[in-house]
Structure 1
Amino acid sequence: MSAPLLEVAVLHPRDVPGADEGGADRLFCLDRRTPEGTSPEPGLVSSICKETELPVRVLLRLNDSRTTTGGELTRLVGLAESYLNVGAEGVAFGFLDEDTLVDVEVCGYLADQLAGVPWTFSRVIDDSLETDRAWRQAVTLPGLDAVHSAGSPRGLSVGFDDLVDRAGADPGLAALVMAGGGLQPEHVPWFVRAGVRQFHVASSVRPGGSWDKAYVDPGHVRAWRMLLDDAATAADRRTGTA
């Protein structure tokens, strides 16, 4: 069994030491000046990349909607290129069309413009009204190696069962699922048993769960690291692969 990947959301270079020391595998950089998060300035991404040897992915989004325009699309490509030039390993994006299905044209265009760059489909997939179809569309996009999902726009408190069932029914899809959005410790063993190997944590690795008043804490990250590794070891023993 592959080791679980732990991705930690960071907003500032001061978040990096906690993620590094706690055992994160990857950083996810975004700007939190809006509720959903938007693309950060390239200078911020550069500062974060200089503080770590971990791979860094960066959010591509210019507004809080689930769609984008032609003018924004051109800017997003330019931003992505800037992020890569200052050290980012990959990006995260995802857009829906007017029918709340994956905007295959827009997402495919971005993926083609960033050929060879690994990327994550963002949690907007949870907002689709035809979730099964949206997943079928997303997994065909080139370069995709993760789909950030909570199974519901209201988070894992609502979508946990659906996401576990989805992963458990399709090993190929399970390998793409990156569980996040209100992830709780008790969720982890069930996800690992279903074949999920990627996990995203954000406010839960900050003291008090505060984005505004606390930086990423190494002890909080380490607790998630140990939890993921223990769950993977237990699953290996159960299947006889340890």
Structure 2
Amino acid sequence: MSERAVLEVIALEVEDAVAAEAGGADRLELVTDMAADGLTPPVETFVGIRAAVGISLRVMLRLTDGFEAGEVRRLVRAARELRAAGADEFVLGFLDEAGEPDLPALEAVLAELDGCRWTFHRAIDRAADRDALRKRLSDLPGLDTYLTAGSAEGVDEGLPTLLAEAARHGEPGYEPRLLVGGGLRLDHLPRLRAAGIDAFHIGGAARPGGWETPVSAAAVREWRSALDRG
């Protein structure tokens, strides 16, 4: 428990990023269009945020609402443009109609990322078989994190799954870090931390005024303090 837990905050623009960093965030997830649950931001947004803050940035690669890849050529082009602009950490994850991982789409995008570190996002919470998905993705280059609530319904429903997966950390397919997000509340933290989970992701919780308002540095600081207390 001595190591500092990772706090990742969703940022839509420079104002969000600056406030999140001021509040003690370790990393940002850069997206646009939260009405579609977070899509790839414009390259200009990444460039502006990268210039404004010093913390890590993971950029979403997702073009449409839902978890199907959509037009893979557009995804590949977006990845190439972001890489050219200096992005070196990403968030992605695609399922086919059966809820299986879309390996051809993932591999096409990862070819552009050239080994960059990346998070497989909450598509895992919609997968037909979480365990099988993890094992099928285990050899993909750069995968170091799963963003998950343990359930499509959020952390309240997914808590047993999160605790069980934390206990398997290090097994084949379970080497990537668990980054817990999706209906996460402060009162969930003690059980998650006690299970050894050390990475947390917030979006709406960093915006007490709702998604139409910017990130609150004070709200982020409250989470940072709670995590630092262990």
Q: Is the Cα–Cα contact under 8 Å of residues 80 and 112 in structure 2 kept in the other structure?
A: no
Partner of 1:24: 25
Give the structure with the larger helix fraction: 1
Question: CA offset at residue 203 of structure 1?
Answer: 0.7
Partner of 2:64: 63
Question: CA offset at residue 174 of structure 1?
Answer: 6.7
Partner of 1:166: 165
**SS of corresponding position for 1:166:** helix
Partner of 2:202: 201
Q: Structure 2-normalised TM-score?
A: 0.91
**SS of corresponding position for 1:141:** coil
- Structure 1: 4+ residue segments shifted above 6 A: none
Partner of 1:43: 44
Cα distance in 1 for partners of 2:185, 2:175 equals 18
**SS of corresponding position for 1:39:** coil
Cα distance in 2 for partners of 1:85, 1:98 equals 32
| Structure 1: gaps spanning 5 or more residues | 232-242
Amino acid at match of 1:123: R
> Which digits, 9 at most, give the CA deviation of each residue in 1:103-126, with x for residues without a partner?
223213322331221111011110
Partner of 1:238: none
**SS of corresponding position for 1:204:** helix
Question: CA offset at residue 33 of structure 1?
Answer: 5.2
Q: CA RMSD in A?
A: 1.7
Cα distance in 2 for partners of 1:177, 1:50 equals 28
| Structure 2: gaps spanning 5 or more residues | none
Q: Is the Cα–Cα contact under 8 Å of residues 207 and 219 in structure 2 kept in the other structure?
A: yes
Partner of 2:95: 96
Question: CA offset at residue 73 of structure 1?
Answer: 1.6
Map 1:113-128 to 2 at 5 A: 113-128=112-127
Q: Is the Cα–Cα contact under 8 Å of residues 91 and 120 in structure 2 kept in the other structure?
A: yes
Q: Structure 1-normalised TM-score?
A: 0.87
Q: Are residues 1:154 and 2:153 paired?
A: yes
Percent of residue pairs identical: 33
Question: CA offset at residue 195 of structure 1?
Answer: 2.2
Partner of 1:236: none
Map 1:129-144 to 2 at 5 A: 129-144=128-143
Cα distance in 2 for partners of 1:174, 1:6 equals 19
Change (3 A) 1:174 1:140: closer
Q: Which moved more, 1:154-163 or 1:169-178?
A: 169-178
Q: Is the Cα–Cα contact under 8 Å of residues 167 and 177 in structure 1 kept in the other structure?
A: yes
Q: How many residues are paired up?
A: 227
